[in-house]
Structures are given as structure tokens and as C-alpha cells.
Amino acid sequence: MSHLLNLEELNNLCKNTMMEHLGIEYTEVSNGRIVAKMPVDKRTIQPMKRLHGGATMALAESVGSAGSLTLVDLTKFSVLGVEISGSHIGATREDYVFGIGTLLHKGKTSHVWEIRVEDSTGKLISICRLTNRIIPIKSEK
């Protein structure tokens, strides 16, 4: 049986990771949907002072990976992102962007997530797709 991680548990997993460094914070979680916000600041912009595409992809992978973590029994399975793609549609200098993840496929060995990255005005910045492998944790004998 899976345990739906709550927001506090998800955010605690980010301590001392790239997610913490980039200021990513999960704000909503439900079965098959997850949302996180990330600041647009000196950690996440490119030289033209707009959101960096790499930071956008880091947000998208963080959202989709965390979404899968909420759907599996973490004592029996591990989650590993194996493919990510993204199309950067727009640019932003807004204070925050939001990664909105929606589960497209939930199989026994893989999950596929769509992650929309929008700025605080609701403008679409990027559309991303992440495939995660669900890997059984081998028990010690």
C-alpha cells in the first residue's frame, strides 16, 4: 500500500539537495497531481535576467519525481527519472514560477508526468514530460 507523502514530508526530503539550493517548495499534493514553486532570482536566472531553461527543467524533474514518490511504497520501491523533455514557450522575470504536474500514466514499472511551468501571472513558460522508472528495492537475505 502506498503512503501519500504530505507537503511537510516532501519539503523535508529536499533539505541539502539541489531543490533546496534552487528554492523549490512543494505547495500542493494529491493523488496524481503535484505543484511546486521556484523563485526567479539570482539562483535561477540567465545573464539576460530571465528564467534559465536549465532551472526550469530542474523544477519540472523535481515535480514529476516527487509526484511518483507519493504514489509508491517507499519501503519497496525507488523512483528514477529516465527521460525528460521540455519545450520553452515563453520567458519570464516574475517573482516565482510554478511547476504543475499531472500524472499521465501510472504503470507497475513506469510513470509518465506532464509538467506545466507557469509564471505568477499564469503565463505558460514551458511544457515538459518526465518518465520515471519504478524500481523494486532488493531485500537483503
Domain boundaries, the chain: 7-136
pLDDT, one tens digit per residue, over 87-96 is: 999 999 989 9
Across all residues in the chain, what is the average pLDDT?
Answer: 94
Is 9 a catalytic site residue?
no
Looking at residues 111-134, what average pLDDT do you find? 98
Per-residue pLDDT band for 4 (boundaries 50, 70, 90) equals low
Give Cβ neighbours of residue 23 (< 8 Å, ≥ 6 apart). Answer: 38, 39, 41, 43, 44
Write phi, then psi, for 65 (nearest 5 degrees).
-65, -45
- Active-site residue (options: 61, 83, 94, 114): 61
Residues 7-136: name the CATH superfamily.
Hotdog Thioesterase (3.10.129.10)
Alpha helices in the chain (DSSP H): 7-13, 18-22, 53-69
pLDDT, one tens digit per residue, over 67-77 is: 999 999 999 99
Per-residue pLDDT band for 138 (boundaries 50, 70, 90) equals confident
Contact 124, 99 (CB under 8 A): no
Three-class SS state of 10? helix
